[in-house]
Amino acid sequence: MAKDRLIYLPLGGAGEIGMNCYVYGYGAPGKERLIVVDLGVTFPDMDTTPGVDLIFPDIAWLEERKDRVDGIFITHAHEDHVGAVGHLWSRIGAPVYARAFTALHARRKMEEQGHNPDKVQTRQPWPETIQLGPFSVGFLPVSHSIPESSSMVIDTPEGRVIHTGDFKIDYAPGVGEAFDPDLWRSVAKDGVKALVCDSTNVFSKNEGRSESTVGPEITRFVSEQSGMVVATTFASNVARVRTLARAGVDAGRSVCLMGRAMRRMIEASTEAGVLQEFPPTISPDDAAQLPRGNVMLIVTGSQGERRAASAQLSRGKYMGLKLDEGDTFLFSSKTIPGNERGVIAVMNALSELGVDVQDDDDGRYHVSGHANRPDILAIHDIVKPQIVIPMHGEHRHLREHVKLAKAHGRTGVMAPNGTCISLSGNEPQVVEYVETGRSYLDGSVQIGAMDGVVRDRIRMALNGQVTVSVILDEDDNPLGEPWVDVMGLPETGRSGTALTEVMEADLDQALRRADDRTILDDDKLDDLLRRVARQTANQEIGRKPEVTVVVSRLS
C-alpha cells in the first residue's frame, strides 16, 4: 500500500496576483483528504477578457474530488480571496470556515448566488482549531490592509504548515490585530514543515511602513486645504478609511462616504465589531448644503473604475455634488499595474474641472498591505520553516522569492499554479502537474477561458464584422444579389464606393461563376463567400473582417 503523503497544490494565485485558491491534501496518493484555502476572483480587462464580468480559477480538479474535500478556509475578505465563494461553492459543497468579519462577506456572497449562508461557519482565532480528517486548522491573526486577516496554521501527521495569506508586518495597523511576533514564535517553536508565503512585494527593497505612519501626513494634508476635499482608497482598507475620516473631522470637516462598497464595508466592520470610533458621517444631500471647505468626501474608485464614485465625480455632478476649482482630490492609494489608464483618465478629468489632484506621493499618503522584501525575510526568520513555498505572486515574484529564500540558506520551492508538491519525505518534490486555468463569469453564465467565446469577441474588436446573406432558389440559382451588412468597419475604402456595395458586387460575381459542386455544398459555398468578402475588404480597407454567412436555400 502506498504511503500517506502531504500535498500542496495551488489552483490560482501562484502565477498571478488574484483568484487565490490553494489545496492541501493528506492521505494515500490519489485518496488524500483535501482542504481548500481561499476561493477568490480576479478582474477582467479589455485586452484579454472584454465583456467578461469576473474571472475564477478553474476548479475542475477539485470538483472531480469533491467527495474528498472536507472544508474551505477563507483567510480574509478581499475579493481575490473570498470573491468566488458564491460562484464556485456548489461545485465543491464543503463547509466554509472564516473569522467573523470575513464570514459576513462570505455569507453575503453565498446569498447572492442563492446558496444557504449557514454553510459558512464563523470560527475564533488561534488557538482555536478545526479538526477535519487528518487536518487540524487554525486562524492565526496577522496584519494586512483589511481587518481580521489570518494566516492558516495547518497541522498534519507530517507536521505543521503555515499558509500566510496576505500579510504585512505592522505593529500598529490601526484597525485589526497588530502583528504579534511572540504569538508567531510560539506557533513556530516546535518546528514548521513549510511556510507558504505571500510574494507580492518581494521586489520592494525597503522595510514596509506601518499604517500608523500615514495618519499624521494625511491629517496635515487635509488641514492645509481650503476647498472641498475628496479622498479615495480601497473601501476594504477600513483602517485607512477611518484615518481619512478622522483627518477630515480634525480639520473641522463633515465626512460623507460615497460609493456603495464604501458604506457597506464601514457598516460591516462596525457590525462585526472590528471597527470602533468611526466618526459620524453625513449624507451627500447634507454635504451639498455645507460650505465646500467644511466637507470631506471619502469615495470609492481608487483604481479609476468607470462606475465608481471617483470617476463619476470627475465627469460632473454626482449625487448632487460637483467638484470645482479650488477643490482637492487625494489618492490615498497606489495604482495596481494595469489600471494606470483608468486612473490617469480620472486625474485628467479632475484637472479639467480645476481640481488639484494629489497622488500618494511615493508612499506619503499610502502604505502597502503586503510584506516587502525585508519583511518577507523577517517572517522566514520567525517561522524558520524547513521549506519556503512562495505564493500570491506572478511568476517573476515567485521566482524571486525562491531566490531570496535560497540566498538565505533555506529550501525554496517553485510551485506555480497546477504544480502538485509532496511535502512528505526529506525533500519536497513535484508529484504531478495538474491542468489549471481560468473560468469566466460572462453575463450570467460560467464559461471556460478556452471556449473561444472571448477570442471571437477580441477578433471582432480587432477586425470588425461582416454579415453576408445569399438566397438560392429552388433551382439553386441566386435569387437577387447577395446582401452585405458591416459592423465596426469604415463605410468606404480605396474605391470611394460604399464598402457594402463593392462587396455585394464581388460576391455576386463569385456566386455566378461558382460551379455546382460549390453551390450545392453548404461548406464550400460558405467558404467561398467568406473568402471573397475578406478579400474585397482587404483590398478596399486593408483589413480582413470576421464574416457570418447566411445562405438560405428555398429548395
Find the part of the chain contacting a copy of itself (CB under 8 A) among 143-151, 185-193, 281-289, 460-468.
460-468
Residue 86 half-sphere exposure toward CB, CA atoms < 13 A: 18
Verify binding: residue 95, a copy of itself, rule CB under 8 A.
no
- Residue in 267, 242, 262 with CA at minimum distance from that of residue 174: 242
Which DSSP category does 294 fall into? Answer: G
Verify binding: residue 209, a copy of itself, rule CB under 8 A.
no
Taking the least distance from each CB to a copy of itself, the nearer of 149 and 417 is 417
Contact 243, 284 (CB under 8 A): no
Find the part of the chain contacting a copy of itself (CB under 8 A) among 31-39, 93-101, 261-269, 484-492.
484-492
Query: How far is Cα 516 from Cα 387, in angstroms, rounded to an integer?
Result: 70
Query: How far is Cα 393 from Cα 403, in angstroms, rounded to an integer?
Result: 14
Draw the binding track, 432-451, toward a copy of itself (x: CB under 8 A; -: no contact). ----------xxxx-x---x
Residues forming beta bridges with residue 429, ordered by sequence position: 422
- Residue in 211, 284, 281 with CA at minimum distance from that of residue 243: 211
CB of 492: closest distance to a copy of itself in angstroms?
8
Taking the least distance from each CB to a copy of itself, the nearer of 282 and 453 is 453
Verify binding: residue 183, a copy of itself, rule CB under 8 A.
no
Q: Which three cell numbers stand for residue 50?
A: 472584454
First to last CA, the chain: 68
Among 110, 230, 391, 454, binds a copy of itself (CB under 8 A): 454
Contact 277, 114 (CB under 8 A): no
Verify binding: residue 51, a copy of itself, rule CB under 8 A.
yes
Find the part of the chain contacting a copy of itself (CB under 8 A) among 104-112, 165-173, 296-304, 463-471.
463-471
Neighbours of 182 (CB within 10 A): 8
Among 30, 31, 46, 408, binds a copy of itself (CB under 8 A): 46
Verify binding: residue 555, a copy of itself, rule CB under 8 A.
no
Verify binding: residue 90, a copy of itself, rule CB under 8 A.
no
Identify residues 379-418 at the interface with a copy of itself (CB under 8 A): 394-396, 399
Q: Which three cell numbers stand for residue 40?
A: 477568490
CB contact set of 183 (below 8 Å; sequence gap of 6+): 126, 140, 141
Verify binding: residue 368, a copy of itself, rule CB under 8 A.
no
Task: Name the amino acid, one letter, at 89.
Answer: W
Beta strands of 164-204 (E only): which ranges? 192-198
Number of residues binding to a copy of itself, judged by CB under 8 A:
60
Find the part of the chain contacting a copy of itself (CB under 8 A) among 71-79, 189-197, 225-233, 350-358.
350-358
CB of 18: closest distance to a copy of itself in angstroms?
13
CB of 542: closest distance to a copy of itself in angstroms?
3
DSSP 298-335: EES-TT--TTSHHHHHHHS-BTTB---TT-EEEE-S-P
Query: Which positions touch a copy of itself (CB under 8 A)?
Result: 45-47, 50-51, 337-338, 340-341, 344, 347-348, 350-352, 357, 394-396, 399, 442-445, 447, 451, 453-454, 456-458, 460-465, 467, 469, 471, 479, 483, 485, 487-494, 538, 541-543, 546, 548, 550, 552, 554
